[in-house]
Amino acid sequence: MAFTEAALVAQLDSTGGGRTIVLETFNPFSATITDIYAVGVIAPYAGRSRWVQVAQTNTAAQAAAVIQAALTA
């Protein structure tokens, strides 16, 4: 099931504060891949930013896990 930007933001920031991980760019690159530029705001992501390619077959929770892992790697 494909995820949307809104669903992904809700997964990354469950409190609605908008300051855990910010998605600067959400670009559906193709029918199967979405390019995301994510910026970490609070620990353990603070000061980190990455381009991440996420498969559209992921759920929003799976996509959030991919982004979180990329920002802590």
What is the pTM for the complete model shown? 0.88
Our count of domains for the chain comes to 1
Q: Which domain holds residue 53?
A: 5-72
pLDDT along the chain (73 residues), means of 10: 87 78 90 94 90 95 95 90
Three-state secondary structure string covering 24-58 = EEEEECCCCEEEEEEEECCCCCCCCEEEEEEECCC
